Amino acid sequence: MKAGLEVHQQLATGKLFCACPSEFSEEVRGSFARRLRAASGENRNVDPAAALAASRRLVYRYETGPSNCLVEMDEEPPHPINPDALDTALTLALLLGAHPLDEIVVMRKIVVDGSNTSGFQRTALVAVDGHLELRGKRYSIPTICLEEDAARKVSETPSEIVYRLDRLGIPLVEIATGPEITEGREGREVAEELGALLRATRAVRRGIGTIREDVNVSIEGGHRIEIKGVQELRKIQQYVDFEVERQRVLLAVREVLRARSARPPTEPPIDVSSLFDEVASGPLSAGARKGGVVLALALPGFDQQLRSPAGTEERLGRELADQARSVGLRGLLHSDELPGYGLEPVHVARVREALRLAPTDAFVLVTDRDRARAELALLRVGARAAAALEGIPGETRDPLPTGRTRYSRPLPGRDRMYPETDIPPIAVTADRLARLAAALPERPSALRSRLAGDYGLPSEIAGQLVGGGFAETFETLAKRGRPAPLVARLLTQDLPSVELPSGAVEGFEPSVDLLDELLRASESGRFAKEGIPAVLTALAAGALSLDAALARAGLSGLSDAELGAIVDRVVEKNRALIEERGEAAFQPLMGDVMREVRGRRDGKVIADALRRALVRVRGAA
Ligand SMILES: [Zn+2]
């Protein structure tokens, strides 16, 4: 297995080609619609990805708001490149030992999903030939680019996709690694290290979705697959591992198909609508079809090769269904999963008869109200089945929350860049580089050893603080006098394990001041530090203040006086024991007090109160 990453990080510098802020907004002030057509370039070729997208004849609707101007609407030429964003990209180049180019030339890269109003994304190569050292291994960084983010998709129907323009134009630094990653785990580690390096510049946006990874994976005998837009770094490992599994399953299927001389489908699909007239349930029933046509396609030699082998969910059937979905169908049915879905053995037998299938042949069924679209779907299914005899087709795939991926579109052609004629090339001067080199931020490796040294943290914990992006918060709290081990535990363990309320769309990111208040309250003994996760959960669930969170977590209301009263009562009840055992009475009494206090005060505060009471009682005796 070989894998490489492309890390895309949003910058907080303001947009790349206009003066709008790098901020999202839910305020919609208006909207407009556009369409995209595929046209041939100077080499007379039409990009296959562009041709497929155009064949869907979609309308793209763009919502405008306070974070955009005429530039995002493509009604005004781009302004000169944002100098802060370029400085940040150059700083990263220096940190990665890369060679900045003498001159930055902005290019247009064709984008076929409507996510840019212009139909292209502006991108500029900033530096080449860098490297990253991690755990004794060297990863090449062939390119560092600066580009504009795309518009944000807000909804989608089979005929229209709605985008919001607030995200369009936010600067992205793109760092590509070479294909030197050989395990899923390594992919996550490299991504985290690059994330830490990006944060070191202090010019990046924070939160879910502000860093996105494209993961390129291939295995021996397979093909390069691009998994696009992974937002959760810790899932990279899963995506890589499942992609390896997918390619292995499909390569094994190919061997079976070749051994039994399976052939690409050659017969055109046939209309089998009338065979299902009395089907009462499932996707082919009259109720579900609403007058739609049912088409069947024979797959010669594919019987039992469309379903998942034991121990995996990957299967050729899903790849075929993805093709049907790519033209707007909801999916397909294939013979390995039938009878089922409302179909009886008799229906299967009728389809096999109508297609005149041999026992080793398989078939697929699709239904749609638009016959032309159903035919297009089967054309693509047939092409994908033919490709299964060759091996793994090169694809762009979408990450799913399960850790698996879904077909998105063909890998784009290589000839899709041309110069942006509205922006003159920018010379990168020696003065500029010298100024940036003199003010380089602390590298993650240096930051890790400094945190370990200055605050006495185990190196593993220091690594988690830096890798998780908590270093700055940690230092702020530690410098305010909060105990370093407690802060480190809060940030690396308690905070990441907070359970978000169901339906939460954004992560839980309490302010430094709130965390400070929380830690102070625990230190002063208002509640036990074991109660911190419960308080954080209450805050994540919407408690508006620390007091409200304490009340919600059932941790409020035990004052020093109340604690003293409990201690006194326990001591009073056990006078005989104290006289008999002396200091040794402490342990059993501590147990009694703890049972009553139930974590509402810190154990150390309770122990101190009990010791004082014991000294008092024994002194009096
Ligand atoms: Zn703007």
**DSSP, residue by residue, 304-343:** T-SSPPTT----HHHHHHHHHHHTT----EEGGG-SBTTB
In angstroms, what is the span from residue 210 Cα to ligand 1's centroid?
19
pLDDT at 486 over 70: yes
Separation of 88 CA from ligand 1 center, angstroms?
20
More confidently predicted of 121 and 528: 121
Q: Which residues contact 261 (CB under 8 A, 6 or more apart)?
A: 301
**pLDDT, tens digit (0-9, with 9 covering 90-100), for 309-366:** 988 999 999 999 999 998 889 899 999 999 999 999 999 999 999 999 999 999 999 9
Could you give the CA distance from residue 336 to residue 362 in angstroms, rounded to a whole number? Answer: 7
Cα separations in angstroms, 152 against 25, 53, 518: 11, 18, 36
Compute, in angstroms, the gap from residue 208 CA to the centroid of ligand 1. 23
CA proximity to 468, closest of 232, 159, 179: 232
DSSP H helical ranges for 456-559 = 459-467, 471-479, 484-489, 512-523, 532-540, 546-552
Residue 21 Cα to ligand 1 midpoint, Å, equals 8
Report the 3 state secondary structure along 233-258: HHHHHHHHHHHHHHHHHHHHHHHHHH
- What is the CA(425)–ligand 1 centre distance, in A? 21
**Other Cβ atoms within 10 Å of 199 Cβ, number:** 21
Beta bridge partner(s), residue 106: 124
**b/e map of 519-530 (b: 16 or more CB within 10 Å)?**
bebbeebbbbbe
The contacts of residue 231 (CB under 8 Å, 6+ apart) are 208, 209, 211, 212, 213, 399
What's the DSSP call for residue 274? G
Q: Which residues pair with 412 in a beta bridge?
A: none
pLDDT of residue 521: 87
Distance 14 CA to ligand 1 centre (A): 9
Q: Is 409 helix (H, G, I), strand (E, B) or coil?
A: strand
Q: How far is the CA of 465 from the centre of ligand 1 (A)?
A: 35
Dist. CA 297–CA 284, nearest whole Å = 15
Q: Buried b / exposed e across 418-432, counting CB within 10 Å, b at 16+?
A: eebeebeebebeeeb
- 139 beta partners: 132
- Average pLDDT of the chain? 90
Q: How many CB atoms lie within 10 A of CB 559?
A: 11
pLDDT of residue 499: 78
Say which residue, 523 or 378, is predicted with more confidence.
Answer: 378
Other beta carbons less than 10 A from residue 506's beta carbon: 9
- How many angstroms separate the alpha carbon of residue 302 from the centre of ligand 1? 53
Which 3 state secondary structure label does DSSP give 298?
strand
Question: What's the rounded Cα separation, in Å, for the pair 34 and 47?
Answer: 20
d(CA 166, CA 35): 20
The Å distance, Cα 79 to ligand 1 centre, comes to: 9
CA angle (387, 388, 393) in 5-degree steps: 55
Q: How far is the CA of 12 from the centre of ligand 1 (A)?
A: 14
Give the Å distance between the CA of 236 and the centre of ligand 1: 33
CA distances from 147 to 16, 108, 126, 175, 204 (A): 8, 10, 10, 11, 14
- Cα separations in angstroms, 560 against 89, 133, 553: 55, 53, 19
How much is the pLDDT for 553?
A: 80
Separation of CA 82 and ligand 1 centre (Å): 12
What residues contact 560, with CB distance under 8 A and at least 6 apart? 525, 609
Query: Model confidence over 546-555: pLDDT tens digits?
Result: 888 888 887 7
3-state class (DSSP) for residue 292: coil
Amino acid residing at 366: V
| DSSP category for residue 181 | B
Q: 16 and 81 in contact (C-beta within 8 Å)?
A: yes
Q: How far is the CA of 392 from the centre of ligand 1 (A)?
A: 42
In this structure, what token pair is assigned to residue 602?
């810190």
Q: What angle do CA 513, 556, 506 make, to 5 degrees?
A: 45
Stretch among 241-250, 349-358, 407-416, 574-583 having the lowest mean pLDDT = 407-416
Between the CA of 60 and the centroid of ligand 1 the distance, in Å, is 19
**pLDDT number for residue 479:** 94
CA of 70 to the centre of ligand 1 (A): 6
Q: What's the pLDDT score for residue 347?
A: 94
Distance 26 CA to ligand 1 centre (A): 16
Cα–ligand 1 centroid distance for 83 (angstroms): 16
Q: Residue 139 and residue 98: Cα distance in Å, rounded? A: 12
Q: 72 C-alpha to center of ligand 1: Å?
A: 5
- pLDDT at residue 500, rounded to an integer: 76
CA of 117 relative to ligand 1 center, distance in Å: 13
pLDDT tens, 565-602? Answer: 889 999 989 888 888 888 888 989 998 888 887 667 77
Cα 147 to middle of ligand 1, angstroms:
15
